[in-house]
């Protein structure tokens, strides 16, 4: 990926990219990175979502940013890709994150698990297959989504081997 | 916030960190000094970047807050600083963070720092505070923070960050207190500071 522009997304951001772009999310804990890819055109989008469902926060000001929520972020990515001529039925999803960083607080903080469930549910409803995922557990993750190949590189804290999915 | 209000908030950090230094001195049997280097109320999405790179490895100790003040409080030490603390505590010369002993020791250090700060906050603002037992994780700072932001700050959008520096002899140890009040608790603190009515 040397020489290729890498665009990092913060919490509550999403972006559309195309070959030879690389999109990434650094330091994911319970947050979820959802990558949608359209292989024929090498177009895709990535969202860095923090909370599972938008409607749960509809009454607060927090709901004004769709990219902050897993379900509405997926909808926004699909809409943007469809506008660019990528039919929903040809999209593939990869999902990374949703960890529980402090297992001792699992009863109070289960947002990671809920984020993963929200993504699976929304993608299933839209008929978009999850072709790969690296989710759950109690480790932080950094991910880079290569729009040339659709490959997602997942890295853990320094000193630990990463994976490609 | 105006400068007086910011000072009041910083002062709670000063007092709390001072108490923490005293308690740590007792625990370690050596003189630990402390100073607050900065304090700020920060939009939540800027919080990870406010302490360094999002993938910088830190040791985080978290305690949930119940009843009187709701939300969570976290103490973060950059990896090298956590190792310094551990070595001071155990007399060892570790060069890596991790393992059961390390986690247990940092839980204790974090517990002492956090409870000292909470006592200062409770006295200053006349609040009752009930923390849960501590949880420890060593990972990228962004990863340590996002779940806490999501769980305790979903409806608010600010986090209080107090940066402190403990010193022991030639050792300087950086640490960050992060207070994630839930929306009613943040309102309460700001009201007590006279920021919101």
Average pLDDT over residues A77-91: 96
Q: How many helices (H) and strands (E) does chain B have?
A: 6, 7
Helix (H) or strand (E) holding B59: strand B57-66
CB-based contact A30 B150, cutoff 8 Å: yes
pLDDT value of residue B156: 56
Copy the structure tokens of residue A58. 């509809």
pLDDT at A3 over 70: no
**Contact A140/B144, CB-based, under 8 Å?**
yes
Residue with tokens 């990092």: A8
Write down the pLDDT at residue B116: 86
Which stretches of A96-161 are DSSP H helices?
111-126
Shortest Cα–Cα distance, B153 to chain A (Å): 10
Cα gap A135→A95, rounded to integer Å: 7
Note whether B142 contacts A108, CB cutoff 8 Å.
no
State the burial class of residue B5 (Cβ atoms within 10 Å of its Cβ: 0-12, 13-18, 19+).
middle
Q: Among B45, B57, B144, select the one facing A29 at the smallest CB separation.
A: B144
Tell me the per-residue pLDDT of B55-65, one tens digit each, with 9 for 90 and over. 899 999 999 88
Question: What separation in angstroms does the CA of B148 have from each of A21, A64, A87, A149, B69?
Answer: 31, 20, 36, 34, 16
Interface probe, candidates A24, A157, A158, chain B, greatest B C-beta count within 10 A: A157
pLDDT band at B124 (very low <50, low <70, confident <90, very high): confident
* Residues B125-156: tens digit of each pLDDT: 788 888 888 999 999 999 998 888 777 655 55
Kindly determine whether residue A62 and residue B143, on different chains, have CB atoms separated by under 8 Å: no
pLDDT per residue as tens digits for the range A149-165: 999 999 998 767 789 99
Smallest Cβ–Cβ distance between B140 and the set A60, A111, A142 belongs to: A142
CB atoms within 10 A of CB A19: 14
CA distance B131 to chain A (A): 12
Query: Across the interface, which of A61, A101, A111 has its CB nearest the CB of B137?
Result: A101
* Rounded mean pLDDT, A80-100: 96
Question: Looking at residue A135, what DSSP letter applies?
Answer: E
Say which residue, B123 or A101, is predicted with more confidence.
A101
Q: What is the mean pLDDT of chain A?
A: 90
Mind listing the pLDDT tens digit for each residue in B91-108?
888 778 788 889 999 999
Contacts of A97 (CB under 8 A, 6+ apart): A25, A28, A29, A30, A31, A32, A33, A112, A115, A135, A141, A143
């Amino acid at each position: 990926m040397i020489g290729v522009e890498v665009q990092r997304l913060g919490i509550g951001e999403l972006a559309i990219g195309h070959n030879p772009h690389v999109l990434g999310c650094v330091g994911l804990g319970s947050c979820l990175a959802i990558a949608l890819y359209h292989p024929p055109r090498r177009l895709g989008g990535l969202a860095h979502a923090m909370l599972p469902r938008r409607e749960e926060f509809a009454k607060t000001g927090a709901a004004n940013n769709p990219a902050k929520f897993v379900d509405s972020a997926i909808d926004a990515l699909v809409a943007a890709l469809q506008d660019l001529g990528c039919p929903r039925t040809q999209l593939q999803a990869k999902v990374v994150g949703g960890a529980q960083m402090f297992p001792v607080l699992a009863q109070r903080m289960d947002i990671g698990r809920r984020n993963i469930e929200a993504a699976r549910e929304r993608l299933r409803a839209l008929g978009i297959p999850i072709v790969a995922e690296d989710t759950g557990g109690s480790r932080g993750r950094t991910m880079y989504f290569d729009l040339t190949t659709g490959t997602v590189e997942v890295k853990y804290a320094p000193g630990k081997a990463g994976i490609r999915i | 916030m105006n400068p007086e209000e910011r000072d009041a908030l910083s002062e709670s950090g000063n007092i709390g960190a001072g108490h923490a230094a005293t308690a740590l001195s007792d625990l370690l049997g050596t003189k630990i000094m402390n100073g607050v280097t900065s304090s700020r109320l920060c939009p939540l999405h800027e919080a990870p970047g406010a302490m360094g790179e999002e993938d910088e490895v830190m040791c985080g100790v978290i305690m949930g807050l119940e009843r009187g003040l709701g939300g969570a409080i976290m103490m973060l030490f950059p990896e090298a600083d956590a190792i310094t603390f551990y070595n001071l505590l155990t007399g060892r010369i570790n060069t890596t963070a991790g393992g059961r002993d390390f986690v247990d020791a940092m839980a204790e250090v974090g517990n002492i720092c956090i409870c000292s700060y909470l006592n200062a906050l409770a006295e200053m603002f006349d609040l009752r505070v009930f923390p849960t037992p501590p949880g420890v994780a060593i990972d990228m700072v962004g990863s340590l923070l996002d779940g806490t932001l999501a769980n305790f700050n979903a409806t608010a959008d600010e986090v209080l960050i107090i940066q402190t520096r403990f010193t022991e002899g030639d050792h300087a140890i950086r640490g960050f207190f992060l207070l994630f009040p839930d929306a009613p608790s943040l309102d309460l603190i700001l009201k007590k500071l006279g920021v919101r009515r």
